[in-house]
Amino acid sequence: MVSFGKKLRECREAKELSQQELAKKLGSAHTVIGRYERDEMLPSIDAVRKLAEALDTTVGFLLGEANDTNILKDPKMMKRLNEINELPDKDKECVYSLLDAFLAKSKLQAILK
């Protein structure tokens, strides 16, 4: 099982934030973020919630409770899904159609291999 600190660092780096930048978003010190990432200190549940929000992920992902069942654990994927959600309905349908076609092609290629 991947530790809280490793998941936090993975999410922070995916958002291309330094420890100092993340700490500033949270009103904390970068040394605290570093201690979290090194698993020297565990944050309060309120701090985990703020971290998850700042990193566009979920508390469950950071706590290791939702490894396979959480489709929104990847911060880059979450960002894209949020952007798609802001599109007009007609544009969303186009994105869904493109994704469906790509996924069907990928599944077919996997079967043919």
Domain that holds residue 61: 4-112
CATH number for the domain harbouring residue 57 = 1.10.260.40
* This prediction's pTM: 0.61
63, burial (CB in 10 Å: exposed 0-12, middle 13-18, buried 19+): middle
Residue 72: per-residue pLDDT? 58
Q: Which residues contact 85 (CB under 8 A, 6 or more apart)?
A: 92
Domain count, the chain: 1
Does the structure show a pLDDT above 60 at 71? no
pLDDT digits 0-9 by tens, 27-58: 999 999 999 999 999 999 999 999 999 998 88
